[in-house]
Amino acid sequence: MIDLHTHTFMSDGVLVPSELARRAEDKGCRIIGITDHVDFSNVEAVVLSACRACRHINGSMEIRAVPGVEITHVSPSEIAEISSIAREKGARLVVVHGETVVEPVKNGTNRKAIEAGVDILAHPGILSEDDARLAAEMKVYIEISGRGGHSFSNGRVARLWYEYGFPVLFNTDAHSPEDLVDDAFAGKLILSAGFREKDVKTVMENSSILAERFLER
């Protein structure tokens, strides 16, 4: 299991990074992304804390931790700017909180995230066909979400993947220990989203392909 979208108490999660990593490790997770919510008010502080936490996790556990952010409810026109700030401060992984159907995310967020070349567009809601096509061209990963509510649109992501072939991956968007899953349950969630059995492995392997990119930096 590789999970590149999780949250700690540095935003709205309930665990310190070390406990989140240990609990994920116990579930069989090999690589975890620490991606707390940021906007312009906290991006520098969160990236600094994530980098420090990941250094300690990587020095004391088998699991590998990748410092990142989830850009959340930022004006679409400012996504490219805050993404650049996060990377400059040390974030290896940049996720954008997509246009989920259960929150009032501004229209245009999906498009601007893809145009900015972020790593992952999380739970993109009713992803448009034009944005799906652009994600394929830009090689921006689109998330199949394990989180309740955000997962309502997983079926649309699956259908558009078969049509446009953008990179797709599964993440838990974990905020608490109960959100973490093992490989077997992740596979069931991917299958229930509408992927064929033969393609579940592809979705899981895509997480590994993306994660290896961060570990090489």
* Confidence (pLDDT) at 47: 98
Burial of 68 (0-12, 13-18, 19+ CB in 10 A): buried
Q: Which residues lie closer than 8 Å to 93 by C-beta, 6 or more apart? A: 4, 33, 35, 66, 67, 68, 69, 119, 120, 214
Domains plus CATH for the chain?
2-215 (3.20.20.140)
With residues binned 3-state (H G I as helix, E B as strand, rest as coil), the percentages for the chain, rounded to 5, are 50, 20, 35
* Confidence (pLDDT) at 217: 57
| Cα-trace Rg, the chain | 16
Q: For each of the chain's 217 residues, which pLDDT tens digit applies?
A: 999 999 999 999 999 999 999 999 999 999 999 999 999 999 999 999 999 999 999 999 999 999 999 999 999 999 999 999 999 999 999 999 999 999 999 999 999 999 999 999 999 999 999 999 999 999 999 999 999 999 999 999 999 999 999 999 999 999 999 999 999 999 999 999 999 999 999 999 999 999 988 876 5
Between CA 77 and CA 87 the distance in angstroms is 18
* Confidence (pLDDT) at 214: 83
Phi first, then psi, for residue 109 (nearest 5°) are -60, -45
* Confidence (pLDDT) at 212: 87
* Confidence (pLDDT) at 155: 98
Buried b (16+ CB within 10 A) or exposed e, 23-56: bbbebebbbbbbbbbbeeeebeebbebbbebbee
